Amino acid sequence: MADGGLRLEGRSIRNPQSPIRNRGGFTLIELLVVIAIIGILAGIVLPVLGQARAESRRMACKSNLSQLAKAVQMYAIDHESRYPAVAVRPSKDHSLPSLEKALRSYTKDPRLFRCPADNLGLYEQEGSSYEYNPVLSGRVQDGPLEQILGPSRTPMLYDYENFHPSTGGSWGGKNVVLCDGSVTN
């Protein structure tokens, strides 16, 4: 045989001094190359996953704002076309109810008031991650502000803080629902 082994009854017996040896595993170099490739792939994939998570939180926030705008519209229908009169910062102003209390009968899920990206604890502190436009508080729909700016440019509710990565829009990292019900950022 070419490898220095003998053949007995159809089986090959290897010569221990033969230059060809059975390889039982990976060499250190091969393992390091595989680990380096896995590291490079993880470095590429992890930022993409982080961006996808941030975008999913932004979309959930937009959905919450859209549903809250509908609740405000239903409130106005039931209250002679007036927006709810609520405290901007309920933790500091106790003279008016919070947005959550004013809209409680129009929203069945209190989680609507929490932005998934609110990592500052504003939901726990204020009862909502969203700030209500104080100019609208208790005013008639289609009032002076909406007539000047138009409902498609008048903010109704928006994030208290820049919870989301900025997309270069006029609101920075805030999601905003306008009086016409559209949500922007």
Q: What is the pTM of this model?
A: 0.73
Q: Chain centroid to CA 170: how far?
A: 19
Contact (Cβ atoms closer than 8 angstroms) between residue 141 and residue 74: no
Report pLDDT for 26.
Answer: 81
CA distances from 108 to 21, 71, 85, 112 (A): 72, 10, 20, 9
Report pLDDT for 40.
Answer: 92
CA distances from 152 to 9, 18, 176 (A): 90, 84, 11
Report pLDDT for 5.
Answer: 52
Share the mean pLDDT of the chain: 85
Q: What is the DSSP string of 89-101?
A: STTT--SS--HHH
């809209």: which residue's tokens? 103
- Name the pairing type of β-strands 176-178 and 155-159: antiparallel
Query: What is the dihedral sign for C-alpha 32, 38, 44, 49?
Result: negative
Q: What is the pLDDT of residues 27-66, one digit of tens each?
A: 999 999 999 999 999 998 888 888 888 889 999 999 999 9
- Stretch 153-179: mean pLDDT: 86
Q: What is the pLDDT of residues 91-118, one digit of tens each?
A: 888 889 999 999 999 998 999 999 999 9
Q: Hey, which of 6-10, 109-113, 163-167 has the most confident mean pLDDT?
A: 109-113
Please choose, from the candidates 134, 128, 143, the residue with its C-alpha nearest in 3D space to the C-alpha of residue 82: 143
Percent of the chain past pLDDT 90, that is, above it, reads 45
Report pLDDT for 75.
Answer: 95
- Name the pairing type of β-strands 6-8 and 183-184: unpaired
Q: pLDDT at residue 3 above 90?
A: no
- Stretch 132-148: mean pLDDT: 84
